Structure formats: C-alpha cells, structure tokens
Homo-oligomer: A and B are copies of this chain.
Amino acid sequence: MESVFQILKKSKKSKARVSRLKTVHGVVNLPNFMPIATLGAVKSLTPEELKKIGVEIILSNTYHLFLRPGIAVIKKAGGLHKFMNWKGPILTDSGGYQIFSLSSKRKILEKGVEFSSEINGQKFFLTPEKAIEIQEGLGSDIAMVLDVCPAGKESYQEIKKAVRITFDWAKRAKKIKKGNRQLLFGIVQGGIFPDLRKKSAEEITRLNFDGYALGGFFVGEPALAKAMADETEKKTWQAMKRSIKFLPKEKPRYLMGAGKPEQIIRAVKLGVDLFDCVIPTRNARHGLLYVFKDIRHLKGEFYEGLHITNSRYIKDFKPIDKSCACYTCQNFTRAYLRHLFMSQEPLALRLVTIHNLYFYLSLMRTIRDNIKTGKL
C-alpha cells in the first residue's frame, strides 16, 4: 500500500522538506497553510473562491460546530464537506483548544473535560472518545486527538500534568478510532520545558499516529506571542526544535495555531509541514494587508503591512500589491478598498480576506519552490 505521506525533497540547508499528504478528498502539498473555517465557512468567502486562491486544505473547529449547528445536523447533511460544499481536504481540531481558551467554566478531570457553552451556558462533558466520535460524524479528512492545552505561562507542574493526561487521552483516542480512511494526528505538549517536550513526543509517537501536531506554542493570541520576552521566545523555539527531534521523519508535522510569515518560515526550517492561523483573515478584517517586498527571497523583511484605512490611500489608485495576482489586486484599487472599509461595506471584508489568504498561499508556494531549488 502506498504511504499517505510522501517526502519529495529534503533540504540540505535545513530540516525543511517538500512532501505530499494523501487524504480522502485529495492531496495536500506540504508545507502548506490552512485557512480557518470556524463554523463551516472561511469568513465571507465561498468554497469556489478558496479554490481560486489556491487553498488546498481548510481547518474547521469541532467545538464551534458542536455548539452550532450541532453534529446531528452535519451528520444528516452527509458530513461537513457536503454541508458546506467544500470538496477538498478538511482538518478538524478536537475542540480541546476552544474549551480551554473560550469556556470560562471548564473543569479538567482524568476522564475528560466539563465545559459550558459560550452561547447559552449549557453544560457538556467531552472525552477523548467523544472527540473522535464527533469528528467521525463530521467526516473530516484529518481528525485530532483531544489534548490538554495549557497556556504557555503555566507552571512546570501544571504542564507536566497536561503532558500526562494528554498521553492518557491519546491512548484512549487511538484505541477507539475506527479503521476508516480518516487520518488521526496525535498532539505533543510540554510547554517550553525541553524534558517535558521530549517525554511527550516520545510517548505520543509510540502510539503511531498518522501525523503529529505541536500544541501549546504561541498559545492564545498573536498579541501574546508579540508580548513575549525575548527569553521566552528563545525557549519557545528551542522547545519546538526539541519536540521535532523526537518525531518520526516519515510522518507529517503540524504546528497548531501558528503563525506570522516569519514564524512559518522558521518552523519550516525546523521540519514543520502544516500550519493554521487566524492572522491573515483576522488582520484582513482589521484592515491590515500584506504586501511582498521581495517574494523571491524570503529573508529579512520580505513583506510589510499596509493599513488600508490610512488617509494616504484616499486617492491611491494602485492595487494593494502590484505584483499580486489575486482577484482583489487584479480588479480594485487601494482608494476603492479604503472607501469600502471606511463605509463599512461588507464587500470590503471579502476583498481584503481574499488578498491576505492569497499572500499566505503564495508564501507557502514560494517556500515549497525554494526548498525544491535548494534556496531554503
């Protein structure tokens, strides 16, 4: 049987690699980036547009879909692909991260996690088994195990406990997983502590998942990462390197919730294959657009941010980025986009989201090309 994961090219300069991941709904070229379709839609965009942008795989949030519209609805629709009419691969998270970050009244027990709906306060109890069952109901191409994802600032003891429970839950998830064609990824925790990262990576990989995710990095919001002291940032990257060291080369690696373009490049060089992040779509909604300074050389300050609401763009009839081939840059000017933004026209949201995602997908294409040609 052909392997679902195939490495096409290994860099000689770094640990970066170009690879392919086969899923039921198609092949994903790695390294790649997943836009986030929290509730079964990438904010403001159609599946058709995602395809045009070059998106190969999206991420949907089990927690949100579980609360609204509920898994029964999506199962009855024939799964998430049919429900939202996206024909490509989908990765679903386990719901754990949202429970930890959104639900104020959550309680972690050995058996699972108790939480209240952020919508109406209704109480739920999620177990690793239930997380698998839900994702099987959603019918995603890649499911994630339920893990305990503490904030980066937690104590050594707390993180150690999280590593232990994460391993226990991973075993239970693996045990119950049906042998269908849905891939299952394990998650490595351990905060910024090298020994805990090693321990977690060794434990989780022993269970032989289809791929491995690095959890607990840059946890919370991008702003948090920004506020990190240099020292913590240094430790973060060391811990990431440490985690990856104990992951098998022949399996895909996914850095959850990251990141900024420069973080993605840095992680790719450490051997990471897959990314997701709210940054491009969220920044778009806040009017912060990405412009490549030099797409060929992904070094130094190869891009810059453009604040579209700035008054300097009132009569600027150039596209956001003259070298960009996205629908927005091919058809609309900065002046028009600024006008739509200032007037809170809903079209603004779409057009800038298209651009920022196109930037990210271009970045990933360039990364793959640069690995292939020996530049990265």
Tell me the chain A residues, 329-376 only, with Cβ under 8 Å from chain B.
Answer: 331-333, 335-336, 338-340, 342-343, 345-347, 349-351
Q: Report the interface size class on chain A.
A: 35 or more
Minimal beta-carbon separation of A76 from chain B (angstroms):
5
**Is A39 close to B, CB under 8 A?**
yes
Among candidates B40, B44, B335, residue contacting A339 with C-beta atoms closer than 8 Å: B40
Minimal beta-carbon separation of A137 from chain B (angstroms):
14
**Is A315 close to B, CB under 8 A?**
yes
Which residues of chain B are within 8 angstroms of A45 by Cβ–Cβ distance? 347
Instruction: Evaluate whether A43 and B85 lie within 8 angstroms (CB atoms) in the complex, with A69-B314, A335-B77 already known.
Output: no
Query: B343 contacts A39, CB within 8 Å?
Result: yes
Minimal beta-carbon separation of A365 from chain B (angstroms):
24
Instruction: Evaluate whether A347 and B41 lie within 8 angstroms (CB atoms) in the complex, with A69-B335, A85-B332, A342-B68 already known.
Output: yes
Interface of A is mostly: helix
Closest chain B residue, CB of each to CB of A46: B347
CA distance A84 to B332 in the complex (A): 7
**Is A317 close to B, CB under 8 A?**
yes
Which residues of chain B are within 8 angstroms of A349 by Cβ–Cβ distance? 346
Instruction: Evaluate whether A345 and B77 lie within 8 angstroms (CB atoms) in the complex, with A83-B336, A85-B332, A336-B85 already known.
Output: no
CA distance A343 to B333 in the complex (A): 31
Query: A77 contacts B336, CB within 8 Å?
Result: yes
**Is A306 close to B, CB under 8 A?**
no
Minimal beta-carbon separation of A209 from chain B (angstroms):
31
Closest chain B residue, CB of each to CB of A83: B336
In the complex this chain forms, how many copies of it are found? 2
Query: A335 contacts B41, CB within 8 Å?
Result: no
Query: A350 contacts B315, CB within 8 Å?
Result: no
Minimal beta-carbon separation of A368 from chain B (angstroms):
29
Query: B84 contacts A336, CB within 8 Å?
Result: yes
**Is A225 close to B, CB under 8 A?**
no
CA distance A123 to B349 in the complex (A): 31
Which residues of chain B are within 8 angstroms of A350 by Cβ–Cβ distance? 44, 46, 346, 350
Closest chain B residue, CB of each to CB of A85: B331
Closest chain B residue, CB of each to CB of A47: B331
Query: B315 contacts A43, CB within 8 Å?
Result: no
Minimal beta-carbon separation of A71 from chain B (angstroms):
12
Contact mask A39-64 → B, CB, 8 Å, 1/0? Answer: 11101111110000000000000000
Which residues of chain B are within 8 angstroms of A342 by Cβ–Cβ distance? 68-69
Minimal beta-carbon separation of A329 from chain B (angstroms):
12
Query: A347 contacts B43, CB within 8 Å?
Result: yes
- Contacts A68-B342, A77-B317, A346-B349 aside, 12 further interface pairs with beta carbons under 8 A come to A40-B339, A41-B345, A44-B346, A44-B347, A45-B347, A47-B331, A69-B314, A77-B335, A83-B339, A84-B336, A85-B332, A350-B350
